[in-house]
């Protein structure tokens, strides 16, 4: 499903020193897997997630999605793939403050350029019912608890029926009880709906939800 081949990511700093965030990364993740990516702060795990999620491009190396190399694709095509293929769940929730809960969930469908096989508002309401948030549909993010905001973020990630969920420290900004609820939702997406999940974390207990752990340090797989 996803393959990274000899992927490097480097940045040129002000004093002309080149910083290597990723060094010769080779990984393969099959459809339906639940993988965690673990590493200390600054290890390169978020950079790796951004490349897997088509949010960034490698400095060198190849990225394959369903055996299709994406490095030769135009930016518009990469944006389309990202929108339709992957749902993102971030530590900071990344909800838009001026939009209601319902509007936040619908937003990815608004940016889709092809006709959809579902009605976005109906799908969003269905997700809200599923996650116990239907009564919050007209609320704004600042009126929700951290756990509720993260459930909204997961619903938003699911609106386009993605094949892959990328979760970057999804429990990092919520209390432990809400964290357990969020991880139960993510577990169910993988176990019951067979959605591929890649979870970025530094928390060993959270990483244990995955069937495979990829450890990264100083930009290298260890």
> Which burial class, exposed, middle or buried, applies to 162 when counting CB atoms under 10 A from its CB (0-12, 13-18, 19+)?
buried
- Sorted by where each starts, the structural domains of the chain and their CATH numbers stand as 34-58+72-221 (3.40.50.300)
The Cα 14–Cα 167 span in angstroms is: 31
Q: What pLDDT, on a 0 to 100 scale, did the predictor assign at position 82?
A: 86
1 within 8 A of 31, measured Cβ to Cβ? yes
197 has pLDDT over 90: yes
Q: Is the pLDDT of residue 113 over 70?
A: no
The per-residue b/e assignment along 82-94, b for 16 or more CB within 10 angstroms, e otherwise, is bbbbbbbbbbebe
Lowest mean pLDDT of 10-14, 57-61, 166-170, name the range. 10-14
Which whole number is the average pLDDT over 41-57?
90
CA 154/CA 40 separation, integer angstroms: 25
Q: Which pairs with CB-CB distance under 8 Å and at least 24 residues apart come from 15-18?
A: none
Q: Which of 13, 24, 14, 112 is nearest to 60 (CA)?
A: 24
For the segment 54-112, what is each residue's pLDDT rounded down to a tens digit? Answer: 999 999 999 998 888 987 788 888 888 888 889 999 888 999 999 999 999 999 888 77
Name the strand (E) or helix (H) holding 218.
none
Is the pLDDT at 119 greater than 80? The verdict is yes
Residues 6+ apart with CB under 8 A from 77: none
Looking only at the bridges linking them, the beta strands covering 2-12 and 60-65 are: antiparallel
């Amino acid at each position: 499903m996803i393959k990274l081949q000899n992927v490097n990511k480097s940045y040129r700093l002000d004093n002309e020193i080149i910083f290597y965030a990723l060094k010769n990364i080779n990984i393969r993740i099959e459809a339906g897997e639940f993988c965690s990516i673990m590493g200390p702060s600054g290890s390169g795990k978020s950079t790796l997630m951004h490349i897997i999620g088509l949010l960034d491009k490698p400095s060198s190396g190849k990225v394959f999605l369903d055996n299709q190399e994406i490095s030769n694709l135009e930016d518009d095509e990469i944006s389309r793939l990202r929108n339709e293929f992957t749902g993102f769940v971030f530590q900071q929730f990344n909800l838009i403050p001026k939009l209601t809960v319902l509007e936040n969930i619908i937003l990815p469908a608004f940016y889709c350029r092809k006709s959809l096989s579902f009605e976005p508002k109906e799908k969003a309401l269905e997700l809200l019912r599923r996650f116990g948030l239907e009564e919050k549909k007209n609320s704004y993010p600042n009126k929700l608890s951290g756990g509720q905001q993260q459930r909204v973020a997961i619903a938003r990630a699911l609106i386009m029926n993605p094949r892959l969920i990328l979760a970057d420290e999804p429990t990092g900004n919520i209390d432990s009880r809400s964290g357990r609820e969020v991880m139960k939702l993510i577990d169910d997406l993988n176990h019951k709906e067979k959605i591929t999940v890649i979870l970025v974390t530094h928390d060993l207990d959270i990483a244990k939800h995955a069937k495979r752990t990829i450890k990264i340090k100083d930009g290298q797989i260890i």
